[in-house]
Structure 1
Amino acid sequence: MKKLVAYYSRADENYFGGTKKYMKVGNTEKAAKMIADMIGAELYKIEQNHPYSADYDTCVKEAKDGLKNNVRPKLKNMLESIDDYDEIYLGYPNYWGTMPMAVYTFLESFDWSGKKVHPFCTHEGSGLSSTESDIQKYAEVMKGIAIRGSDVDTSQNRQYEMTRRKQKSNSP
């Protein structure tokens, strides 16, 4: 069976190591590409039909409103199925202790029976928070990894550890 790295990432103005800075590629996307390269997986970017604002403060307000109202935004270029994958690496930034609402839309769009989900998140101090238990409502969750967003460019060794842990857990 094939592996999939599905991820939600936001570029534009981001909070990064205590300051705001503009990024052409979001931290979670960078991590997702590293993981996909390491494990030979296909990539799928979870994208909202109507993305958050490029301005960080406006984005925070939009995302917080979505969380408060339990919004499930429509996604563009949605996968037709996840049937061909038995392992899915699910990446997202940590938003107030959970995942962006678009990730919930993705999770609620499929039957996760028999799938193993390996979560990874980017954050600036919150770690995985409750995201593993949030995902567990939909699928079998393997031990996740949290990557500080401002360290993602140097995090390849931590991501390697994640894939090695997974390989050891599948050994006889």
Structure 2
Amino acid sequence: MHHLIVYYSYSGITRRLAEDIALITDGDLRELKPQKPYSFSYNTAVKEVREEIEKGYCPTLIQGVEDIENVEVIFIGSPNWLKTFAPPVLSFLRKVDLSGKTIIPFCTHGGGGFGRMIEDYKKECKNSIIKDGIALKGDYSFDELQTWLKNNV
């Protein structure tokens, strides 16, 4: 079965997790890139993100919304931002038809796990199958990820 790994990464931590998932599953990577990147200053970026999340804003994506017609299983990854996924992921979920697809969420976090991400995926992807997914801290081990994928995918 062909896998697609779609992700947004601010600092590179989620990108590393996405790359590891792609390596283990032999899946294709697709990075979500907003037209206007977030600030390089973490504190400023948090303010930008908080405002976008509170408004339900979907930033314009310049990369990542290409057709997914022939893909059945999609891993979707994001850092945990304010207990949910990053706004570029919301843009992807609303722009791409995920009906009938199996969604396996993944996230990186500093202690908050998925927060309310799974509920938010279920809300946004009503016609998809949402799996439990995996939430890992930035210092996860490759073996831990490999074991989880072997037992859950």
2:42 is equivalent to residue 56 of structure 1: yes
Kindly provide the amino acid, as one letter, of the partner of residue 125 in structure 1. Answer: G
1:103 match: 89
Mapped contact 1:128–1:144 kept (Cα < 8 A)? no
How far, CA to CA, are the matches of 1:88 and 1:162 in structure 2? 16
Task: Please list every run of 5 or more consecutive structure 2 residues that lacks an aligned counterpart in the other structure.
Answer: none
2:1 is equivalent to residue 37 of structure 1: no
Scaled by the length of structure 1, what TM-score is found?
0.83
Q: Radius of gyration: which is bigger? A: 1
Once the two structures are TM-superposed, the CA of residue 111 in structure 1 deviates from its matched residue by 1.8
1:2 match: 2
Output one character per residue of 1:54-95: Cα deviation in whole Å (capped at 9) or x when no partner.
011110111111111111100012333111110001110001
Corresponding residue SS for 2:37 = coil
How far, CA to CA, are the matches of 1:90 and 1:78 in structure 2? 11
Q: Taking every aligned residue pair, what percent have the same amino acid on both sides?
A: 33
Mapped contact 1:89–1:119 kept (Cα < 8 A)? yes
How far, CA to CA, are the matches of 1:5 and 1:78 in structure 2? 10
When the two structures are aligned, how many residues end up with a matched partner? 150
2:136 match: 147
Output one character per residue of 1:113-148: Cα deviation in whole Å (capped at 9) or x when no partner.
221111110000100111112111203111211111
Mapped contact 2:34–2:63 kept (Cα < 8 A)? no
Scaled by the length of structure 2, what TM-score is found?
0.93
How far, CA to CA, are the matches of 2:95 and 2:34 in structure 1? 14
2:76 match: 90
